[in-house]
Amino acid sequence: MPEIRHLPQAPTRVRTLAAGQHIDAHRHDDHQIVYAGSGVVAVTTPAGTWFAPGTRALWIPAGTVHAHRAHGRLDLRLVGLPADDNPLGLEAPTVLTVSTLLRELILAYTRAPDDDSAERGRLRAVLCDQLRASPQQPVQLPTPTDPRLAAVCTLVHDNPADPRTLAALATATGTGERTLSRLFRSELGMTFPQWRTQSRLYHALRMLADDTPVTTVAHRCGWASTSAFIDVFRRAFGCTPGTHNRRS
């Protein structure tokens, strides 16, 4: 297993990552806000993968081992906060809604990371106020540990267009349907349809970041129609698939 880097401070900075580029697993003693100014960022921890386009940001608590991956050209904005400054009171990675105002605050605050002026301090205070008002969003792909559950999740995640029911997947993996249904709820905290939707949304974000047409994404990710895909995407991310990545 590769060594996990320990970074005492979570830096406030801007990084540009090419599609597919990643930042290896690491942890730091500060909290961190992770935001994609363009592209899509996926953050993976031992508990699962969180993903966000520009309408969402990720809260990473101090001490959390995590890695980043870019989907599309990623304008990565990182905001570090001291461990004793937790405006959200959150102890686990969380996806937050990013309003237009919060987006502009993050962009402005990360433009000059070395600026220690009083004006920038006031900017940070307003940013934290907006964070407190940001609704939490369950945009996560939990990682299963039970081998029976992991086998089913792998089949679904490797082929998002797979239409098989849980009963059919149970037969294919030699596990009872009721057992799998119970494992999805007890281990992942969601039903099988909910987990499959999260998996499909993850694939959809990756494809959209690579400029794949919306209709093609809907088909490859298993939605019955483009309109059904657009509806699910809008409810998950607050925008349509065709507009989510049109950001400066």
Spatial separation of the C-alpha atoms in residues 73 and 152, rounded to whole Å = 31
- The separation between CA 101 and the C-alpha centre of its own chain, rounded to angstroms, equals 20
Confidence of residue 5 (pLDDT cuts 50, 70, 90): confident
Judged by DSSP in three states, 73 sits in: coil
Q: What percent of the chain has pLDDT over 70?
A: 96
Which candidate, 237, 49, 233, 236, places its Cα nearest to that of 141? 49
Confidence of residue 1 (pLDDT cuts 50, 70, 90): very low
pLDDT at 166 over 90: yes
8 Å CB contact between 22 and 2: no
**Residue 244 pLDDT:** 66
Confidence of residue 108 (pLDDT cuts 50, 70, 90): very high
For the chain, the structural domain boundaries read 5-137, 144-237
**Residue 248 pLDDT:** 41
| Six token digits for residue 19 | 């599609």
Task: Tell which CATH classification among 2.170.150.20, 1.10.10.60, 3.10.105.10, 3.40.50.720 matches the domain 144-237.
Answer: 1.10.10.60
Spatial separation of the C-alpha atoms in residues 165 and 180, rounded to whole Å = 12
Check whether domain 5-137 has CATH 3.40.1280.10, yes or no: no
Which candidate, 61, 205, 50, places its Cα nearest to that of 140? 50
| Six token digits for residue 128 | 């934290």
Q: How far is CA 152 from each of CA 157, 172, 219, 222, rounded to the nearest angstrom?
A: 9, 9, 21, 16
Tens of pLDDT, residues 48-76: 888 888 888 999 999 999 999 998 899 99
